[in-house]
């Protein structure tokens, strides 16, 4: 492929579906070749920047899945790396240590500035007794609350999908247990205790990848957002998905807690996200508190109306062309 041809290529991030500026693509293609640029972007593990890359990491859900696949595989053959299916539909290769039905995989946070679980090992071991057929259990180092084991729905579905795939491949009929040897220790560096989760970390991940949150990523996201006339600034993946399904005409981009930077970068905007995050953004005095939000219209009208209005007012102070704010599951203010 010639350089002239590379200038005409539109490359899109496979997770958030935003397009990269052509001048960024061309600059990287000149350094690495367009095929390598396409490969890296398509993997989901790299975010293109004007001067190179930011690396995404893998979630605890992906890490646990890798350990499960490796543990079962090691019963049948030697294994040093496994391919893991993620909730995004992409696959990722993960290096593992595995032998005789026991395996470890290492969590990697990419260029994330403050991921407490970076470098943490997650272990899986097989259980071949008939009473454990097809059973996935979680042992020490995985947190628990009054609601049960601290494994999100998306992460549980990911672990099960990978468990079932590798079991079919080898005809494995046993079960598997997942544990995090340093989980209880590392959990003290997270918000789990405040959230009522005891004894370990949470197994999480809506895409299977960790966004590399740092100052550079916020600047990159702002530059990308500025390409679009109308942008939905979202606090996370759930808001992004809601916008894709319900908010036509706006390009959704995830800014996490960096809502202000997103608003300053765009012309017209809508703000969409978790009620607790948006309310705490609008009123910093609420940070550190658990907000008991109820999802019913009457409650929203009577108790949350002033708070929702505060979110809208703060957003419009930053960008007067904010059309409305949407607190997911609660209501809209415009």
- pLDDT, tens digit, 9 for 90 and up, residues 82-140: 999 999 999 999 999 999 999 999 999 999 999 999 999 999 999 987 666 778 999 99
Section 15-20 average pLDDT: 97
Please, what are the domains in the chain?
3-54 (3.30.1990.10), 60-210 (3.30.2110.10), 215-333 (3.40.50.10720)
Average pLDDT over the chain, rounded to an integer:
91
pLDDT value, residue 330: 86
- 241-294: pLDDT as tens digits: 999 999 999 999 999 999 999 999 999 999 999 988 999 899 887 765 555 544
Indicate left, alpha or beta for 178 from its phi (over 0: left) and psi (-120 to 50: alpha). beta
Q: Are 26 and 7 in contact (CB under 8 A)?
A: yes
Phi then psi for residue 321, to 5 deg, are -95, 20
Distance, CA of 248 to chain centre: 23
pLDDT value, residue 302: 44
Q: Are 14 and 88 in contact (CB under 8 A)?
A: yes
Residue with tokens 């893991």: 84
Is the pLDDT score of 297 beyond 90? Answer: no
Q: Are 57 and 43 in contact (CB under 8 A)?
A: no
The model carries a pTM of: 0.91
pLDDT value, residue 7: 54
Is the pLDDT score of 238 beyond 90? Answer: yes
Give the model's confidence band at 33: pLDDT under 50 very low, under 70 low, under 90 confident, else very high: very high
- 147-167: pLDDT as tens digits: 999 999 999 999 999 999 999
Residue with tokens 């970390």: 201
pLDDT value, residue 276: 86
pLDDT value, residue 146: 93
């Amino acid at each position: 492929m010639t350089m002239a041809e590379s200038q005409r290529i539109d490359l899109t991030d496979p997770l958030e579906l935003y397009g990269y500026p052509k001048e960024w693509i061309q600059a990287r293609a000149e350094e690495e070749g367009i095929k390598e640029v396409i490969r890296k972007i398509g993997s989901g593990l790299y975010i293109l920047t004007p001067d190179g890359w930011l690396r995404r990491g893998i979630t605890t859900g992906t890490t646990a899945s890798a350990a499960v696949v490796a543990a079962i595989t090691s019963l049948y053959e030697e294994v040093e790396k496994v391919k893991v299916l993620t909730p995004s539909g992409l696959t990722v290769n993960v290096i593992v240590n595995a032998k005789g039905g026991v395996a470890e995989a290492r969590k990697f946070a990419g260029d994330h500035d403050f991921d407490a679980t970076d470098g943490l090992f997650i272990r899986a071991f097989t259980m071949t007794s008939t009473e454990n057929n097809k059973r996935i259990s979680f042992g020490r180092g995985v947190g628990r609350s009054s609601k049960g084991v601290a494994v999100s729905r998306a992460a549980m579905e990911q672990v099960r999908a990978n468990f079932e795939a590798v079991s079919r491949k080898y005809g494995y009929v046993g079960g598997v247990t997942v544990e995090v040897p340093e989980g209880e220790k590392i959990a003290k560096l997270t918000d789990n205790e405040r959230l009522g989760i005891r004894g370990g970390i949470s197994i999480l991940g809506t895409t299977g990848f960790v966004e590399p949150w740092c100052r550079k990523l916020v600047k990159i996201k702002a530059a990308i957002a500025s390409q679009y006339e109308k942008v939905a600034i979202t606090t996370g993946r759930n808001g992004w998905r809601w916008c894709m399904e319900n908010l036509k005409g706006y390009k959704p981009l995830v800014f996490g807690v960096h809502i202000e930077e997103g608003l300053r970068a765009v012309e017209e905007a809508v703000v969409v996200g978790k009620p607790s995050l948006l309310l705490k953004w609008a009123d910093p005095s609420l940070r550190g508190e658990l907000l008991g939000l109820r999802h019913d219209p009457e409650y929203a009208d009577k108790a949350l109306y002033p708070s929702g209005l505060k979110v809208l007012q703060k957003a419009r102070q930053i960008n007067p062309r904010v059309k409305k704010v949407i607190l997911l599951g609660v209501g809209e203010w415009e």
